[in-house]
Structure 1
Amino acid sequence: MHKAKFLLLFFFIWHNSKVYAANYYFSSTSGNDERTAEEAQHSGSPWQTLNKLNEFIPQLNPGDSVLFKSGDIFYGSLNLKKSGTSEKPIVFSQYGIGNPPIISGFTLLKNWKKFAPGIFFTNIPQATPQVNLLTLNGKPMALGRFPNQTEKNKGYLVPDEIKGKNQIAHPSLQEGEQWEGAELVIRKNHWIMDREQIISHQSNTLTFLPSSSYEPKEGYGFFIQNHLNTLDQLGEWYHDVNANRLYICLEDQNPDKISIKVSTKDNLLTTLTNTRHIVFHGIHFEGANKDAILIRGGDSMHFISVKIENSGENAVMVENMDRFRFENSTILNAQNSGVYLRSGNYQATISNNHIENTHVFSGMGQSGDNNGYAIFSVSDADTISNNTIKNSGYVGIGFRGSNTLVNNNYINGFCLVKGDGGGIYSYTGGTRKQYLNRKIIGNIIQNGVGAREGTSLQGSDFPAPAEGIYLDDDAANILVAENTISGIANKGIYLHNTNNIEVKDNLVFDASYLIFLSDDHLGQPLEKVVIKDNTLIKKTAHQIVMGIRSADPDFSVIGFSDQNHYIDLLGDGATFQVQNIATKNELYFNHDNWVKKTTWEDNTTQTIQAAPSPLPAIAETHTIKNLDFSSDASGIYCLKNCSLTWENNGYISVSRDNEVSSLKLDLGPVKNNKYYLLTLIATSNEQAIGEIYLRQRGASYQKLSHGKTFILNKSKKEHKILIPEPREDSDASLILNFSQSTNEIKIDKISFDVITPVQETTNLDNFLLLSNPNSQPNQFKLGAQYKDVKGEPHSEKIILGPYESVFLIQE
């Protein structure tokens, strides 16, 4: 009996000694790796290096903590080979007072030698594969490139010949400038920017190794990087891997007096395939050459209040991990993507983070699809919430799986380098897998810029494809509610081949199309779409409230739209559009005719608020055409579906016999670097919608500018429509299209001028869009009397709740 009690007591003491939680201290400035494990459990006698930690990690027990001294920098990579438990995770954190400890992959370069005027070189201390990241005084710099980004079309050349899948030609590629061994960066469509190794340069032709299945495409551009001959601007650099040399252009600066660092560690944290229950708190990771955090399977890893800065590829790469959490943290300057959740993950939480400057250098991301996201996930049961995302080269937040919640995120600036993406983007495509229960709620999305350069849109005013919320091929079962979307180059909310989508209670302002629906051969037809209770605000003349692109839209199958509130700040009213992809016709509608066409919008309301003219102040004007029809109708003629009659009273009458009639006015040459202004005085006995654009006079009749719409009424009105920087052409025409009914239109005057706008103009906006992108209420001061879209008055101040917005019109 006594022996049994003794054995029980021994087991109890032994067990508790094994589960006792210990702290292990590390200091790069005062540590010593020769100390014992017992000594390292005291802050006064820490270990020193990550090598020692990696050696000791297998001996860690659940509940243990590894503490790095605040303000210290630890060079190297941390390799996790141990797990905690749900009750006792292993914790990596900091001790002491000061800045967070840094785990760094950076090497400071020294021993610089002059190679040529303004160009210096040094050897990298250890053999390193291709360096992906260099900082100059702490600022990441782009690889050297030809042509420079400051040159025409932001430094993209457009091939004059594409020779199969792996050859392009351009006259600027001279025989004397050999680019063999350099890297070709080529845009193959709006969303793909591939990096290809150049294997030969003969005459004006480059031969390269394709890095993805996408092929070069006519009208899309390229540049050359990662070669010694590209170095001609401050900070441009090149890594000669074979010689292990780093070259940099410093112009007249002394390299010994500035800090130049390169990434020499691929990863800063890696895990085994079944790592579980680990917590990182208050650690700063910097200077990974590839993925700073690389997680390859397991359960319940939690990162809180960490900072990941300057990653050569992705800041965080995760696969096959359940319950991954990344919270209250910061990611800066990831060259490819911020948080990248690949396949096999489940129930990730990405919340309360700040992610900025993701994939902002053209040619510094990775090739192929799904690159350039601030946050990207293909997993189920994710929560992506309360994040601030600024300056994304491609997409702000992209997701796929079921039971996903994307809510209360603030996204400002996206599609800066690539296009055909969105602030929030979801895609199914191909497999047509039925993801269920997805919600996009309460997000604030601003400034979708788009990137024309290097695409078929460069040198034009066509809107680049940057969309606010973009639900792409076969995306289904998504609620889009209570979001604020503004300042979008193309479509505010874009539903492309989607079904079972509900769009409600959103505020969309200042987009080429506030809402746009499309079906084509790339996915299933539009079906079961509900659009209701949205506030859609048209800012400028060319903006369309709602558009649909389809071969023959069946509106009853598509779904319905109703109980929305349309606001036009120009005093004309809402404009709608149908693009028939079979006939190529574009039909425009006012509200009443849209209701007849679709049977939608019976209970929708409109507010028409005449705002000051959005045109810039004009410093100089030169008239190209001025037709006042005082004596005849010469100078303009019908292109199709109409007839012209000159009236003695000094106007021409346009009679129509079809849905769309077209007039043409020949202009001669137009220049890309000029601004043009159309002045039109006209009336219509019933409301009619007109569209104008520039077009080539002869075959192939390509559009030279984006279409701009205007509305004609019974009252005579002067319409001034600006066409900024159209595509250049030696012989252009102005096209005027008129949609709807067969009523008569009278045109009193058409004037077309080239103008020089005043560079600085006074902001005459009489409206405010206020948004609170924070988790706490915020007070805004008002300098005038305003009313909101419901007619409620506001003065002096207004308080907005978390992620709440309000649109105010000055009284």
Structure 2
Amino acid sequence: MRRTHFLLLFLWIGTITRMPAASYYLSSSAGKDTHTHQEAQNPATPWQSLEKLNQFIPQLAPGDSVLLKRGDVFYGTIHLKKSGTKEHPIVYSHYGKGPLPMITGLSELKGWVSHSPGIYFVELPLSFSQIKVLTLDGKPQSMGRFPNPDEVNKGYLIPEKVEGNNQLSHEVFLKNEGWQSAELVLRKNHWVIDRQKITARQGNTITFSTASSYEPKKGYGFFIQNHLNTLDQLGEWYQDKENNRLYVCMEDTNPENYTIHASNVDQLITTLPNTRHVTIEGLHLNGANEVGLYIRGGSFFRFSNSIIENSGENGVLALNMDHLSIHQSEIRNSFNSGIYLRSGNYQATITDNLIENTFMMPGMGQNGDNNGYALFSISDADTIARNTIRNVGYVGIGFRGSKTLIKNNLVDGFCLSKGDGGGIYTYTGNSNPRYTDRKVTGNIVRNGEGAREGTPLQGSDLPAPAEGIYIDDNSNNVLVTDNTVYQISNKGIYLHNAQNIEVSNNLVFDAGYLVFLTDDELGQPLKSIRISNNTLIKKEPHQIGMGIRSASPEFQTIGLSDQNRYVDLTGFGIPFYFQNRATKKEMYHTLESWERETGWEKSTTQITKTINQDLFEYDTKTLTNANFSDAINRIYCTNGCTLTHAKEGNISITGKDEIASLKLDLGPLKNDSSYLLSITASSEGQTIMEAYLRQKGPSYQKLSTETPVLLTNSKNEFKIVIESPREDQDASLILNIYPPKQEINISLLSFEVLKKTPASPSETNFILLSNTELVQKEIKLESVYFNLFGKTQPKVFTLNPYESIFLMRE
């Protein structure tokens, strides 16, 4: 009998453990919170509010589901306070038809009152804190600012004087009572934009609160926001905290013609510090005042097929979560960062997501370092793959940690609001942990701009610091392979204070430096670098094949670069650059002299394929005569060389030092003008001539980008377009020759004003094709093209996912 009772008890327990999981339904349009939890398991009798759901969540069991009705909008926050198990996770998803169910922190604002022509205000509920998100017909709007971003230098003013860490001067502060209590948005350097409250004014000098450890710098700009006087463009807004009002500029229309929302919910989904085995699938999070999805610890959290948009700070913020998965989701319009995986996470998998429009409104993000990333993680064992990142104010993908894989991602448009960042970027810093097994492979990185505005580079054509793949301070043990990097303002692949790095089989096209290596006081010296089998293509005259800047130029210790393929599309040659940081000595090299100097590139090849240039149109006024007769008597040597006037108006230069410098004074330059520098010259042997514009006298500031050209014993003709140089009343043309210990002949030197800037060299003679899709892509060519090996490319062929090919026409 006892045996029979025991068997029945065992079967009863087994029945309990096999009970089916429950599904609970929510509908904001058809639900009622008075329904029981048994009724809420029927889609015909759902609950209505997130408040009711949050009350019940602690009673959920592993394997249960919470389903929100598609097409419905739910206001507030879901607090995930219950965990599932490995076999039976708790799932939050949807049911029905229509758009994904939306969880929102946005409240519609009504009852607008006219304040002044074009400006309206609304009384805010007392519950509203500092608003970070305001939308106009669903589109996020930035706070009002002065000057506006469509004005000169994108609305940045340069201080007349900077004093200490919290004072600056500008005549603008003499107006509008010094902008009392407004916010000062200040670029502290290329990579930091801080927001500080203006606290006092004396004359044209203001005092402001400190926001980060960075101090203001001379030459870096600011604008003013969060003040009623800034409102002059449609959608700009200002919150008056003291009187609990929100003001909006509507120009010549009425706010009742728009739907205007503001956020008052800080997070839309949150977890407890130890949330385990929870899945979110197919939800839409819109308008968090701070963070859309806030994960505070645990393990095995999955977020997929969902949308997060219009987040006042970060789309996703996660810490202390093991095995986080974010998959096939869209994160749009994050004012600070898209996905931010902070400390304590392990083995995150971030795959097949779209992240776009991140940190695109300067002044709406957060202060200090590590802000403005589309995707940022500092955890170990991450897999970041097949994501598409478009339009990010700073860094596309930032990573740290060991055993990290960055594979088959597209980063398209980065460093659009700040600079000194990369499409793909890693940093180690002074703590210098020895990370291992890190791979950046098969990615496509393009369109890095660098944001000159509000920096000493504004108003110039000097390269802004945007780097394609950027391996920064003390980073080590990274494989960079099979990537495509192109249309980059500064450096295509940049190794800074890095060790044990392999760069192989990459295609780099159209970057200021195709590859650049440097070490400095911020980190360890370059060591054990291997660069091989890369295709490096120069598109513009000023671009350089490879550059190295080092205080300890021992090339065998630095590593080796060899078996690469350099392609010159300009006819100007491929220059190589070296600077000894200890002695400040600079030198340009030809491929031949670079091999002698470094021992590198012994098996490297170089291909020259000149693209046809468009015709130039000259202004009637020229600064120097095209036939050379005017300029020849005003050229003189400034550094260790002898200048001789030869027959037929030519000049010859010989030098004793490693660099010869020629100077031709030009007079005033205009920033709104474009110029054409024409040079015809030859040399006894191969040498590099560098041309740029500079101030005639102290402080000898450069006014244009340097353009190096390769001279040979043939007659070399070069035409260099200089667009919008820095304006100066007394400029000079500088020609540096490396090395000068041979005779250089110049038969033509002219500097002329252009009526219009010519279009870029015709790109019909080359194409760069990339497959950014997840499947093979069939390519059909309309003309005959050749690959870089000189072989005819089939007119129909396929590219594998994230594969690229560069083709040229005869």
**Contact residue 622 and residue 755 of structure 1 kept, 8 A:** no
> How far off its partner does 1:629 sit?
5.3
Query: Partner of 2:177: helix, strand, or coil?
Result: coil
Q: Cα offset for 1:201?
A: 2.5
- The answer to whether structure 1 residue 84 and structure 2 residue 84 are counterparts is yes
Q: Match for residue 700 of structure 1?
A: 699
The question of whether the paired residues in 1 share the 8 Å contact of 2:628 and 2:750 is answered with no
Query: Which secondary structure state, in structure 1, belongs to the residue aligned with residue 700 of structure 2?
Result: coil
Q: Confirm or deny: 8 A CA contact 1:343 1:378 kept in the other structure.
A: yes
Distance of 1:523 and 1:697 partners within structure 2: 36
**CA shift for structure 1 position 148:** 1.0
SS in 1 for 2:734: strand
How far residue 737 of structure 1 moved from its aligned partner, in angstroms, is 0.5
With normalisation by structure 2, the TM-score equals 0.98
Task: After superposition, give the CA deviation of every residue in 1:702-744 in whole Å (9 maximum; x if it has no partner).
Answer: 1111101111122213211111111111111110001125110
In 2, the alpha carbon distance for the partners of 1:633 and 1:91 equals: 80
1:451–1:278 Cα change, 3 Å: same
Aligned to 1:106: 106
Corresponding residue of 2:777: 778
Q: In structure 1, what is the Cα distance between the partners aligned to 2:7 and 2:538?
A: 83
Q: Which segment is superposed worse, 766-775 or 619-628?
A: 619-628
User: Quick check: 2:675–2:753 contact (8 Å CA) kept in 1?
Assistant: yes
Q: Distance in 1 between matches of 2:592 and 2:449?
A: 33
CA contact (8 A) 1:785 1:794 kept: yes
Aligned residue number for residue 497 of structure 1: 497
Equivalent in the alignment of 2:751: 752
Distance 1:665-1:56 versus aligned 2 partners, 3 A rule: same
The aligned residue for residue 13 of structure 2 is 11
1: distance between equivalents of 2:615 and 2:317? 47
How far residue 552 of structure 1 moved from its aligned partner, in angstroms, is: 4.2
Q: Give the whole-Å Cα distance in 2 for the aligned partners of 1:292 and 1:220.
A: 33
Say whether residues 1:691 and 2:700 are aligned partners.
Answer: no
Alpha-carbon distance in 2 for matches of 1:728, 1:575: 28
8 Å CA contact 2:321–2:346 kept in 1: the answer is yes
Q: Is the 8 A contact 1:503 1:530 kept in 2?
A: yes
Counterpart residue number, 2:270: 270
2:238 corresponds to 1:238: yes
From the superposition, tell whether residues 675 and 633 of structure 1 become closer, same or farther in structure 2 (CA, over 3 Å): closer
In structure 1, distance between residues paired with 2:6 and 2:725: 94
Counterpart amino acid of residue 215 in structure 1: E
Q: Indicate the larger mover: 395-404 or 580-589.
A: 580-589
- Contact persistence 1:626–1:749 (CA under 8 A): no
- What is the alpha-carbon distance in structure 1 between the residues aligned to residue 10 and residue 196 of structure 2? 68
Contact conserved, 1:611 with 1:765, CA < 8 A, in 2? Answer: no
8 A Cα contact 1:355 1:388, kept in partner: yes
Between 198-207 and 326-335, report the one with greater CA deviation. Answer: 198-207
Kindly provide the amino acid, as one letter, of the partner of residue 452 in structure 2: R
* 1:631, distance to aligned residue in structure 2 (A): 9.6
Q: Distance in 2 between the 1:137 and 1:327 partners?
A: 29
1:691-770 equivalence runs, <5 A:
691-740=690-739, 742-757=741-756, 763-770=762-769
Structure 1 residues 229 and 572 mapped into 2: Cα distance closer, same or farther (>3 Å)? closer
One-letter identity of the residue aligned with 2:44 = G
The aligned counterpart of 1:118 is 118
Which residue does the alignment assign to 1:302?
Answer: 302
Which string of whole-angstrom CA distances, capped at 9 and with x for unpartnered residues, describes residues 273-307 of structure 1? 00000000111110000011100000000011010
Cα distance, 1:460 vs structure 2: 0.9
Which stretch shifts more, 172-181 or 550-559?
172-181
Write the distance in 2 (CA, Å) between the matches of 1:632 and 1:385. 57
Q: For 2:419 and 2:759, how far apart are their aligned partners in 1?
A: 29
- Does the Cα contact within 8 Å between 2:619 and 2:752 map onto a contact in 1? no
Partners of 2:755 and 2:518 lie apart in 1 by 38
SS in 1 for 2:730: strand
1:679 matches 2:660: no
> How far off is 1:794 after superposition?
1.7
Distance 1:265 1:165, change over 3 A: same
* Farther off after superposition, 3-12 or 96-105: 3-12
1:200 aligns with 2:224: no
The answer as to whether partners of 1:373 and 1:397 remain within 8 angstroms in 2 is yes
Q: Structure 1 residues 804, 719: closer, same or farther in 2, change over 3 A?
A: same
- Does the 8 Å contact 2:358/2:392 carry over to 1? yes
Output aligned runs, 1:286-365, within 5 Å.
286-365=286-365
Which amino acid in structure 1 is aligned with residue 733 of structure 2? L
Letter in 1 for 2:283: I
Distance 1:633 1:285, change over 3 A: closer
Q: Counterpart of 2:545?
A: 545
Please tell me whether the aligned partners of residues 629 and 652 of structure 1 are also in contact (alpha carbons under 8 angstroms): no
- Pick which of 276-285 and 792-801 moved more: 792-801
In the TM superposition, 1:271-670 aligns within 5 A as: 271-613=271-613, 617-618=616-617, 620-626=619-625, 628=627, 633-670=632-669
Please state how far the C-alpha of 1:16 moved relative to its aligned partner. Answer: 4.0
- Quote the Cα distance in structure 2 between the aligned partners of 1:484 and 1:631: 47
User: Once the 2 structures are TM-superposed, how far is the Cα of residue 312 of structure 1 from its aligned partner?
Assistant: 0.5
Partner Cα separation in structure 2 for residue 70 and residue 234 of structure 1? 33
Q: 1:762 to 1:435 in 2, by over 3 A?
A: closer
What's the TM-score once normalised by structure 1's chain length? 0.98
Cα distance, 1:175 vs. partner? 4.8
CA distance in structure 1 between the aligned counterparts of 2:191 and 2:389, rounded to whole angstroms: 19
Query: Structure 2, unaligned stretches of length 5 or more?
Result: none
2:176–2:229 Cα contact (<8 Å) kept? no
Residue by residue, what CA displacement relative to the aligned partner does 1:623-658 show, whole Å, maximum 9, x if unpaired? 011274559941100011111111123201111112
Question: Alignment partner of 2:363: what SS?
Answer: coil
Determine if contact 1:633/1:645 at 8 Å carries over to the other structure: no
* Cα distance in 2 between the residues matched to 1:764 and 1:326: 39
Structure 1: give runs of 5+ residues left out of the alignment.
none
Structure 2 CA distance for partners of 1:775 and 1:761, relative to 1, 3 Å: closer
1:574-622 CA-to-partner distances (Å, cap 9, x unmatched) read 2100123233332111110010010101100111112112x67436352
* 3-state SS of paired residue (1:121): strand
Task: Please list the CA deviations of residues 115-139 of structure 1 after superposition, one character each: whole Å capped at 9, or x if unmatched.
Answer: 0100011123352221111111111
CA distance in 1, matches of 2:314, 2:605: 46
In structure 2, the partner of 1:255 is: 255
Residues in 1 aligned to 2:389 and 2:615: alpha-carbon distance in whole angstroms: 32
Query: Shift in Å at residue 12 of structure 1?
Result: 3.5
**Aligned 8 A contact 1:437 1:477 in 2:** yes
Using a 3 Å threshold, how does the CA distance of structure 1 residues 306 and 652 change in structure 2: closer, same or farther? Answer: same
> Secondary structure of the residue that 1:57 maps to in structure 2?
helix
Deviation of the 1:150 alpha carbon: 1.7
Preserved contact between residue 632 and residue 646 of structure 1 (Cα < 8 Å): no
Aligned equivalents of 1:337 and 1:726: distance in 2? 34
- Residue 171, structure 1, aligned to residue 165, structure 2: no
Q: Give the Cα–Cα distance (whole angstroms) in 1 for the partners of residues 37 and 631 of structure 2.
A: 100
Residues 567/390 of structure 1: CA separation in 2 closer, same or farther (3 Å cut): same
Q: Residue 40 of structure 2 aligns to which amino acid in structure 1?
A: A
Contact 2:27 2:46 in 1 (8 A): yes
User: 1:794 & 1:528 partners in 2: Cα distance?
Assistant: 37
Contact 1:589-1:739 within 8 A present in 2 as well:
yes
How big is each residue's C-alpha offset from its partner over 1:551-572, in whole Å with a ceiling of 9 and x where there is no partner?
A: 3411011000000011111234
CA contact (8 A) 1:612 1:765 kept: no
Which deviates more from structure 2 when the two are superposed, residues 152-161 or residues 471-480? 152-161
Q: CA RMSD in A?
A: 1.5
> Greater CA deviation, 781-790 or 325-334?
781-790
Which moves more between the two structures, 221-230 or 545-554?
Answer: 545-554
Give the aligned residue type for 1:720: K
How many residues were matched structurally? 808
Report the AA paired with residue 708 of structure 1.
T
C-alpha distance after superposition, 1:524-567 (max 9, x if no partner): 00000000000000111110000001234110110000000111
Indicate how the Cα distance of structure 1 residues 632 and 620 shifts in structure 2: closer, same or farther if over 3 A, else same: closer
Amino acid at match of 1:36: T
